[in-house]
Amino acid sequence: MERMEGPDDAELSRARAGDAEAFRRLVERHARGVFRLAFRMLGNEQDAEDVVQETFLKAWSRLHQFEARSSFGAWLRRIAANCAYDTLRRRKRTPLAAGPWTDDEGGEIDPLQELPSPTPSADRELWGAQLRARLGAALHALSPLERAAFTLRHLEERPIAEIARALGCDDNNAKQSVFRAVRKLRRALSPAFPVTP
Amino acid sequence: MNHPNDDALLVAMWDEPGADAERAHLAGCATCRERVAALRAVLDAAGEDVPERGPDYGAQVWARLAPQLPARPVPVPAPPRRLVSFHRFASFGALAASLLAAFLIGRHTAPLPPPVPVVETQVRERVLLVAVGDHLERSRVLLVEWMNEAEGGAPHGAEELLRTNRLYRASAERGGDADVADVLLELERTLLEIARAPEFGPAERAELQARIERRGTLFKVRVLGEQVRQRQARPAVEAPVQES
Ligand SMILES: [Zn+2]
């Protein structure tokens, strides 16, 4: 989400007084950032679009609770993270079942051998596709808290304290969840990304 | 040399306090810098593939959002006079607001306006609780029926439930109870969508049903209704109630 603390202020005070037009400008300014966060947490466009709608709906009805201590963008992000976290918790998780890496004929390959080739090739594309598929499956298998905390820390680069507030847990819990998420992702992706001591 | 473990390396990568030793170690250790690079590769891979949204995306979001926006809650609203069900509470409209919030989350001990005698307050609280419970149950039944029908116009009573819901939501918001307000907001949005459903073709209707399903609206309404019923069933323990 763009850091736009100053430019939001005028719209904010008008929107709080019930000016929907001012709120429209805020929505237009922040919608893409909210979508990106929601998609990263959920990995699914439809769910992410639902979260975008829910986030702005809640923001509108809670505008009077917004305190200027944080930026409007950070406040929205907190609402969005919370909505997406709720969606994650309602979802059924798929247990992770990672088989060997294969080439296009189904033969087993060593992903490390495929990786170093700097030139784009069919093999390399296949490798990339498998990497994405594995990553998607691994993300899907994380617990809701692990996935939410991981997304907010590593993809949205939010500080741990803010993540803990958004997800309603304490700092240590948020941090440990990120650690666990990273460990699980690395395990799912090894040996393409070998784990070092 | 003692190399930090992966967790410590992660903290060092974050721009957070408490990892000075690890950061210093990284500056002098090529092995660990490689480990950080490998970690980063995993993390970067996880952040790829967000579908592109064009510059008019915000306008699209607004187009979907605008019809669902409830009127902004005004700081100190007068209780609306149109609703029969709310007339009974008109004499304590302001009180009702704080009571609803206090009740639904079980904060029975929340401070109440002093001039109202305890017994009278409890009676009013119960009346209000019953009204809210009734509203949630009627909404739930209407939603279940509508979700199971492939066609047909707006269900009977949706408009009235919508109006009642607005009152309760505004009460919960004024009482500062975000959890209850959220469920009522969700319900209001859904009732609004359903009330507009006659304009929808079968495909749009099916899409809306799927969306409501995904949002878990029914589940949330049922849980809140259950909480209200439990409150109703619980005897008032804070003060001895003298039956007159
Ligand atoms: Zn080292």
What residue numbers bound the domain in which A88 lies? Answer: 1-92
Ranking A12-16, A186-190, B3-7, B138-142 by mean pLDDT, the lowest is: A186-190
Residue found by looking up tokens 């990263």 in the block: A40
Do A65 and A158 have their domain in common?
no
Same domain, A100 and A147: yes
* Residue A87 main-chain phi, psi, to 5 deg: -60, -45
Residue B9 has pLDDT above 70, yes or no: yes
Which comes out higher in pLDDT, residue B90 or B222? Answer: B222
List the single residue in B10, B35, B216 with the smallest CB-CB distance to A90: B216
- Residues in A touching B68 (Cβ below 8 Å): 53, 57
The pLDDT score that the predictor gives to residue A180 is: 95
Q: With an 8 Å Cβ cutoff, are A57 and B72 in contact? A: no
**How long is chain B?**
244
The count of structural domains within chain A is 2
Surface-to-core class of residue A176, CB atoms within 10 Å of its CB (0-12 exposed, 13-18 middle, 19+ buried): middle
Q: Are B222 and B141 in contact (CB under 8 A)?
A: no
Instruction: Please name the residues in contact with B44: beta carbons below 8 A apart, sequence gap of 6 or more.
Output: none
Model confidence over B160-170: pLDDT tens digits?
888 888 888 88
**Same domain (yes/no): A88, A109:** no
Q: Which residues of A touch B46 (CB under 8 A)?
A: 135, 139, 150, 154-155, 185
Asked if A193 and A144 sit in the same domain, the reply is yes
How far apart are the C-alpha atoms of A157 and A145, rounded to whole Å?
16
Side-chain-facing half-sphere of A52: CA atoms under 13 Å: 32
Same structural domain, A110 and A196:
yes
Nearest to B192 by CA among B92, B68, B66: B68
Q: CA A118 to CA A109: how far, in whole Å?
A: 18
Q: Could you say which residues from 165 to 184 on chain B have a Cβ atom under 8 Å away from some Cβ of chain A?
A: 169, 173, 178, 181-182
Domain CATH number, residue A101? 1.10.10.10
Q: What is the mean pLDDT of residues B183-206?
A: 84
Digit-by-digit pLDDT tens for chain A (197 residues) are 444 446 788 899 899 888 889 999 999 999 999 999 999 999 889 999 999 999 999 999 888 888 877 789 989 999 999 999 999 988 776 665 555 556 556 665 555 444 444 445 566 666 677 777 888 888 888 999 999 999 999 888 899 999 998 899 999 999 999 999 999 988 887 766 555 44
Question: How many Å from the N-terminal Cα to the C-terminal Cα in chain A?
Answer: 36
Same domain as A104, residue A42: no
Question: Rounded to whole angstroms, how far apart are CA atoms A160 and A157?
Answer: 9
- In the block, which residue shows the tokens 């829910």? A54
**Neighbouring residues of the ion ligand 1, judged by CB less than 5 Å:** B 3, 29, 31-32
pLDDT at B125 over 80: no
* pLDDT at residue B179 in the model: 79
CA distance B34 to B78: 65
What pTM does this model have?
0.65
Contact between A27 and B58 under an 8 Å Cβ cutoff? The reply is: yes
Name the nearest CA neighbour of B213 among B154, B133, B128, B144.
B144
Alpha-carbon distance of B32 to B37, in angstroms, equals: 9
Residue B101 near residue B177, CB atoms below 8 Å: yes
Same domain for A118 and A54? no
CA-based Rg of chain B, rounded to a whole angstrom? 26
- Quick check: A160 and B16 CB within 8 A? yes
The pLDDT score that the predictor gives to residue A55 is 95
On average, the pLDDT of chain B sits at 74
Domain ranges of chain B: 6-45, 84-233
Q: Do B39 and A135 touch (CB under 8 A)?
A: no
Q: How far apart are CA A13 and CA A25, in angstroms?
A: 12
* Same domain membership, residue A115 and residue A62: no
Q: What is the mean pLDDT of residues B99-103?
A: 52
A111 & A191 share domain? yes
Q: What is the CATH number of the domain that holds A34?
A: 1.10.1740.10
Residue B47 pLDDT exceeds 50: yes
Q: How confident is the model at residue B129 (pLDDT cuts 50, 70, 90)?
A: confident
- pLDDT band at residue B124 using 50, 70 and 90 as cut-offs: low
C-alpha to C-alpha distance for B194 and B211, rounded to whole angstroms: 12
Q: Is A37 within 8 Å of A80 (Cβ atoms)?
A: yes
- Residue finishing a domain among A92, A115, A134: A92
A86 or B174: whose pLDDT is higher? A86
| Same domain, yes or no: A19 and A109 | no
Distance between CA A85 and CA A108 in Å, rounded? 37
Token digits of residue B6: 């992966």
Distance CA A18, CA A136 (A): 41
The answer for B 200-239 residues in CB contact with A (under 8 A) is: 211, 214-216, 219
Q: Do A7 and A61 sit in the same domain of this protein?
A: yes
SS (H, E, C) A49-65: HHHHHHHHHHHHHCHHH
Shared domain for A83 and A145, answered yes or no, is: no
